[in-house]
A and B are shown apart, each in its own frame.
Chain A
Amino acid sequence: MTLGTTIWIVIFAVSALVFFGIAAIISVYGTKDLRNLLRESKKRE
């Protein structure tokens, strides 16, 4: 492995982990947001 390939692999690994981490958090909080959105919409009916 050259220095260039090592740098990109490290950047890729960090970026992928950040993506998966945020995806997990958003999935949990997004479920709550979606419930609220549908509840409020039902109330307006």
Chain B
Amino acid sequence: MNFHTIDWIILVAYLSVTVFIGIRAKKYVENMEGYFVAGRRVRAALGTATLIATEIGIVTFMYMGELGYVTGFSCFFLGIVGLIAYLIIGKTGFVVSALRRLKVITIPEFYELRFGRGVRLLGGIILFLGGVLNMGIFLKFDGIFLTETIGLGEDLLVVVMIIMLLVVVSYTVLGGMFSVVITDFMQFVVLAIGMVVATVATLMHVGFTDIANTVVQQFGEAGVNPIVNERFGWPFILWMMVASVATSALWQPAASKSLSSESPEVGRKVFLYTGLTLAGRYMIPMFWGVAALAMFGNSVSPSLAMPRLLGTVVPSGFLGLMIAGMLAASMSTYSAYMLAWSSVATRDIIGPIRKQELSEKTSIFLTRIIATAIGIFLLVFGLLYEIPATAFQYIALTGAMYSAGAFGCVAAGLYWKKANKVGAFSSLILGAVAPILFLVLEKSKDALPQWSHFLIDVNISGVLSFVLAAGGMILGSLLTQTSHPPVAIATFEQEAA
């Protein structure tokens, strides 16, 4: 057992305070906007902290650490690509400013404004499925991290998963976005301290020179050059360049933080400041993964190496603080994701199907029920499903299922006047095809003919999703301009003004 009494005290105290504050935030939820987007009163520094806390959780540390362990320094390029994507959005306000100006709560609401209710329903279903599948591995990876760093052993994995789930569901379901914003901020602060402690402790045990020599010995050129690394190559790099912009602007849990901001200008700034931290928060856990390779060699399971390193090098007392920080990061990710996906299900799937508009009270009630159901799904899926490829690639591909079509619909819907309903339907459907084919066919790859093996290449599948979605939007719209004339929305006039 790596944990001592002081570590347990810190961890339990922190969790208790978080749940207490999260539940207390319920009193600030005065209406639907209060529940879903914190009344749209979040300013830049707070918005940035909560967006960062949403985007990092144990699962992100786990898949970044795993990438560092299996690819060396070459995976660091992902931090640079992500940094550029966020800076583009932060400087130009691309997509996010226009969406904030339209005062939508979810991305599919924009589909209805621009393309009609049917597109909103389809977009909502794809977003919900992609989002929940994407989140499906979170709980298991978090459980592995905690059992490995604390030293509990694999037998207690299920117990750890259930406890985490109960804590997160309780305050997300009760408090909505106010709970998320308040607890995200606390978690951001604790997380940042935990990351400093873990990085310093790692460097005290494994020096830069040892790490660099290990990378050269284990991978050669592939350890520093992503183009020649067999897990990456050009298809993956191209996919990440497009996907980074698309998912940064349109991934509902992140977008909801921008939509909660005080004004479109603040929403843009939140992306700018968040982007400046992106390279660091990608590379730090990747570096821990590479350090784990230098410390343990390549005989450890890739998903276990990084947590084992932290459990070994971080001293008692600090370990409790670091685990609290990691758990904090995870809880904020869960709460934001659960709130995002349950609000999409309520507002964009159930809402459009019913003829009568849902009351605010019913919307919030349904959202709470669905958030709880998502929690139960996470537990079952996490225990039963074995992921193909690396965890990072699984996350990116399930994200592409939604974001490829969404990027086509929203970017074209905002900036291309000829975009119409047929283009939007085509973009959403074609954007989801390649990732779904990959997830289905990968399970029976031995039975597939050789010519079709490109469909089970995770990187080609990711690139295809964006190419098909863009093609669907352009061709679908251009071929049906007469039968389905595009519907203009106010944003064009506002942008011109």
Instruction: Give the secondary structure class of A's interface.
Output: helix
Task: List 26 interface pairs A-B (beta carbons < 8 Å), by A numbering.
Answer: A2-B216, A2-B224, A4-B224, A8-B73, A8-B224, A12-B283, A15-B283, A16-B199, A16-B283, A16-B284, A16-B287, A19-B281, A20-B195, A27-B188, A28-B45, A30-B46, A30-B49, A33-B46, A34-B182, A37-B46, A38-B182, A41-B30, A41-B34, A41-B39, A44-B30, A44-B39
CB pair A41–B43 under 8 Å, yes or no, is: no
Please give, as numbers and ranges, the residues of chain B lying within 8 Å of A9 by CB-CB distance.
73, 208, 211-212
Q: Out of B44, B79, B209, B211, which one reaches A33, CB within 8 Å?
A: B44
CB pair A5–B79 under 8 Å, yes or no, is: no
CB distance from A39 to the nearest CB of B (A): 10
Name which residue of chain B comes closest to A13, CB basis.
B208
CB pair B76–A8 under 8 Å, yes or no, is: yes
> In the bound complex, what is the Cα–Cα distance between A20 and B189 (angstroms)?
11
Name which residue of chain B comes closest to A40, CB basis.
B41
8 Å CB interface, B139-181 against A: 178, 181
> Cβ of B460 < 8 Å from any Cβ of A?
no
> In the bound complex, what is the Cα–Cα distance between A5 and B459 (angstroms)?
25
Of the stretches B272-280, B314-322, B376-384, B476-484, the one at the interface is B272-280
Please give, as numbers and ranges, the residues of chain B lying within 8 Å of A25 by CB-CB distance.
45
Number of interface residues of B (CB under 8 A): 51
CB distance from A45 to the nearest CB of B (A): 7
> Cβ of B185 < 8 Å from any Cβ of A?
yes
Q: Out of B45, B182, B189, which one reaches A29, CB within 8 Å?
A: B45
> In the bound complex, what is the Cα–Cα distance between A45 and B65 (angstroms)?
45
- A residues near B, CB below 8 A? 1-2, 4-9, 11-12, 15-20, 22-34, 36-38, 40-42, 44-45
CB distance from B194 to the nearest CB of A (A): 11
> In the bound complex, what is the Cα–Cα distance between A45 and B28 (angstroms)?
8
Please give, as numbers and ranges, the residues of chain A lying within 8 Å of B52 by CB-CB distance.
23, 26
Please give, as numbers and ranges, the residues of chain B lying within 8 Å of A42 by CB-CB distance.
28
Name which residue of chain B comes closest to A6, CB basis.
B212
CB pair A1–B213 under 8 Å, yes or no, is: yes
- B residues near A, CB below 8 A? 27-28, 30, 34, 38-39, 41-49, 52, 73, 76, 79-80, 178, 181-182, 185, 188-189, 192, 195-196, 199, 208-209, 211-213, 215-216, 221, 223-225, 273, 276-277, 279-284, 287
Query: A18-B279, A19-B277 known; A30 and B73 CB under 8 Å?
Result: no
CB pair B280–A19 under 8 Å, yes or no, is: yes
CB pair B277–A23 under 8 Å, yes or no, is: yes
CB pair B280–A5 under 8 Å, yes or no, is: no
Q: Out of B34, B209, B221, B283, which one reaches A1, CB within 8 Å?
A: B209
Please give, as numbers and ranges, the residues of chain A lying within 8 Å of B224 by CB-CB distance.
2, 4-5, 7-8
Please give, as numbers and ranges, the residues of chain A lying within 8 Å of B277 by CB-CB distance.
18-19, 22-23
Q: Out of B41, B47, B76, B276, which one reaches A12, CB within 8 Å?
A: B76
Name which residue of chain B comes closest to A32, CB basis.
B45
CB pair B212–A5 under 8 Å, yes or no, is: yes
Query: A2-B212, A36-B43, A44-B30 known; A22 and B73 CB under 8 Å?
Result: no
